[in-house]
Chain A
Amino acid sequence: MGGVYALAAFGLSIVFGVLNVLNIAHGEFLMLGALGAYLIYVATGLNPFIIILLIIPIFALFSWIFQRLLIRPIKGKTETEILIASILVTLGASLLIEDVTFFFWPKSFTSIPYSLPTLHLGKVMIPTLRLYGLGIIVVLTVVVGLFLKHSYTGRAIRAVAQNVDGAQVVGVPTRKIAAMTFVIGTCLAAVAGVFYVTLYSMTPYMGLPLTVKYMVIVIMGGLGGLTGPLAAGLILGITETFVGYYLGSVWAPAVAYIAFIIILLVRPQGLFGLKE
């Protein structure tokens, strides 16, 4: 679970850090990614891990159109105006996506019925599907991390995240970078959706509550940062599991919010955020 949290929260954070856009529709992209994966699975019977390779280009195109139509028009305003406008625009988009999906939705709940045999190492049992899932999430995260650190575009994204005016002065095409960042963030959510529908089940109305949870993770990790959400997501997932075992599962979801409050009291800037 921590891996899925981390991946989706990472996408939300990167979009906020670079574009100053709080994408309330982020959970809907996860839901649509899950739905797309399910439909591809039903049509082709492909392994969900291979479906990820099909989902990425589909969502790259979809998210580019989304940002071109809804996000780009609100740029060029003050930071506060962009933030408020982005919340309103993406909230509207979120509600629209939910209702349109529900209208065409063929089933009440859906999940990909895919499983793998459990790996037995002596007395220890490892759920293979989750192990592979976590492996892919780690690889994906490392690839995105290396891309951000070593490629020109990645460095440009980080530059825009740090100082948009400075980046513009040194010739970074901020508009293109913004579009690319939104595409990356959305694709990460869609990929998280593939894991979600393989491990759990999905409904058209699951997006908004997930967005709220991912926002908590992003704030916990440090607003706008890139490492923070990854770490916070993993910490949260693992903590929920341990709390579930020792205190009872009924307490596990509350942990996210208790940890959130404690971290904000101790470190208002989040786990990996920098003091302003």
Chain B
Amino acid sequence: MSNTSKRWLGRILLGCFACAVFLGVGTPRAVAKDKIIIGGTVAQSGRFASDVKPWPELMRTWAHMINEKGGLMVKSLNKKLPVEFVLYDDKSDPSTVVKFYQRLITVDKADILIGPYTSPLTFPATTIANKFAIPMVCAEATASAIYKRGFKWIVGVDQPAPLWSLNYFDMIQKRTDAKSVALLGEDINLFTEIMEGAKDLSGKAGLKLVFDEKASKDTKDFTPIIVKMKEAAPDIVFVGGFIPFNIAFLKQAKELDFNPGEFHFTHHGISFVDALGKNANYVTGESYWHKGMKLGNYQAFEELLKRAKVNILEYPWAVPRFLAMDVIRRGIEASPSLKKEDLMATIKGLHFEGITGPMSFDKNGQGKNRPVVDQIMDMKYLFAWPDAEGYPPTHYKYPRPKWSEIQ
């Protein structure tokens, strides 16, 4: 190449560079924010999948309902932005949870995160949110251990697990003459905390603890436990476990003709009744919400369930999921901007009336979503407690009839 050609080539390249600089190519420009991204994972396969099958539909329907009204108001932009969920299947696996929450933050650039289902999966997810300093609102994660690590970037809507059965033992004290209780907990972190709380709360309710044992989550044969419980002759049998654990226990209690004054299960739902039929009658349990509870923005919740075709009795965890989305909505609209620091500080300072009562967060970031008590009668869930304004009328029978009278 001749010197003249080199000179011309140099001039052309210099000209291109000058044009590029002038047009702004290759230099950072402020990209107009056109949507709010909420990132999360949902167990669409693996052991938790059955519990949350309709979650993607539930969350996208919620976003659709928000977007129908123009989206969420962002104060710093002085305009409403539509909401979009980016969701991945975490396969009910903690390591997959970690992988996808990292991706949601680094690749999908989520503005805020919503937690995965259950405490075991929320544990690793919160670690990622805190490491990258992105606000996360946890939904179905009650275990206090998640929140006691001093993480700044997380809140959860559920109350601390040891307070799970506060309403239940309040009812026992006020509505029964029960004197003793037997406690059985599934051996996982959540139920360990719930059972610790139950021990304390039952003592305060004046009940004598006559049996206290844990059983592995894989327990299939409850015969030794039931035999020992029968020897202890409690008035109340309080079982803290997930639904399959509870179904197997009650089936075998019936088989062994074990007749305490009441069987109580911390977790149950319509599948519990389906699996047990008439044998589920008179069982008490706890759930977050009942039709007829007129608290907070309950109409929006009922509309969401209807549109997403979610049966609350089949999927009771829709309540904390909705509350988490409600916290995100209120947080974004109240925050001065979408900056993560502003957003997190605003969320932590929220006080509002949610669908299960007052909602705010304690110093660890745990909320106030507390279960209410219900009892199964004629294979239907009836509201049992608390007896207060905004709640449906109560129905409760104690003691339960013997098995021979239930058939």
A: residues with CB less than 8 A from B are 1, 98-99, 102, 105, 107-115, 117-118, 120, 125, 127-130, 199-201, 203-205, 237, 240-242, 244-246, 248-254
Contacts and interface: CB of A to CB of B under 8 A. Distances in A.
Given A1-B220, A107-B314, A245-B224, A113 B275 contact: yes
Interface stretch (B61-69, B157-165, B250-258, B338-346): B250-258
A127 B256 contact: yes
25 contacts: A1-B220, A98-B45, A102-B49, A105-B50, A108-B51, A108-B269, A113-B274, A113-B277, A113-B278, A113-B279, A120-B257, A130-B255, A200-B220, A200-B251, A201-B243, A205-B49, A205-B50, A244-B221, A244-B224, A246-B224, A248-B213, A249-B213, A253-B216, A253-B218, A254-B216
Looking at chain B's contact residues, the main secondary structure is: helix
B401 interface: no
Contacts of A201: 243-244, 247-248, 271, 275
- In the A-B complex, list the 10 residue pairs whose CB atoms are closest, starting with the nearest: A113-B277, A245-B224, A111-B275, A127-B255, A244-B224, A249-B215, A108-B50, A109-B271, A118-B257, A201-B247
Contacts of A114: 277
A249 B50 contact: no
Contacts of B403: 118
Interface in B258-293: 269, 271-272, 274-279
A240 to B, nearest CB: 6
B404 A203 contact: no
Contacts of A115: 251, 254-255, 279
Contact of B224 (A128, A199, A249): A249
B174 interface: no
Nearest to A203: B50
B247 A200 contact: yes
B381 to A, nearest CB: 15
Nearest to A4: B220
Contacts of A102: 45, 49-50, 53
B407 interface: yes
B47 interface: yes
A242 to B, nearest CB: 8
A244 B274 contact: no
B205 to A, nearest CB: 26
Contact of B404 (A108, A117, A204): A117
Interface string B203-229: 000000000011110111111110110
Given A114-B277, A249-B222, A250-B216, 15 more contacts: A107-B271, A108-B50, A113-B274, A113-B275, A113-B279, A115-B254, A117-B404, A120-B257, A201-B244, A245-B228, A249-B219, A252-B216, A252-B219, A252-B221, A253-B216
Given A244-B224, A248-B213, A200 B244 contact: yes
Contacts of B257: 118, 120, 125
Interface-centre pick from A105, A200, A204, A242 (highest chain B CB count, 10 A): A200
B256 A118 contact: yes
A182 to B, nearest CB: 27
Contact of A241 (B51, B218, B223): B223
Contacts of B272: 109
A108 B314 contact: yes
A244 B244 CA distance: 19
B150 interface: no
B50 A111 contact: no
Contacts of B15: none
A109 B50 contact: yes
B279 A253 contact: no
B271 A108 contact: yes
Contacts of B274: 107, 110-111, 113
Contacts of B220: 1, 199-200
B361 interface: no
B358 interface: no
Interface of B: 45-47, 49-51, 53, 92, 187, 213-216, 218-225, 227-228, 243-244, 247-248, 251-252, 254-257, 269, 271-272, 274-279, 314-315, 403-404, 407
Contacts of B47: 203, 205
A241 B256 contact: no
A210 to B, nearest CB: 10
A205 B51 CA distance: 12
Contacts of B271: 107-110, 201
Contacts of A111: 247, 251, 274-276
Given A102-B49, A117-B404, A203-B50, A249 B244 contact: no
Contacts of B221: 1, 237, 240-241, 244, 252
A276 B48 CA distance: 44
A117 B247 contact: no
Given A99-B45, A200-B251, A201-B248, A109 B275 contact: yes
Nearest to B245: A201
Nearest to A251: B216
Interface-centre pick from A98, A108, A125, A250 (highest chain B CB count, 10 A): A108
Contact of A250 (B187, B248, B279): B187
A92 B223 CA distance: 37
Contacts of B251: 111, 115, 199-200
Contacts of A252: 215-216, 219, 221, 224
A242 B248 CA distance: 18
Contacts of B269: 108
A115 B250 CA distance: 11
Contacts of B187: 250
A99 B89 CA distance: 13
Nearest to A245: B224
Contacts of B275: 109-113, 201
Interface-centre pick from B51, B214, B224, B271 (highest chain A CB count, 10 A): B224
Contacts of A240: 221
A217 B324 CA distance: 45
B407 A117 contact: yes
A236 to B, nearest CB: 11
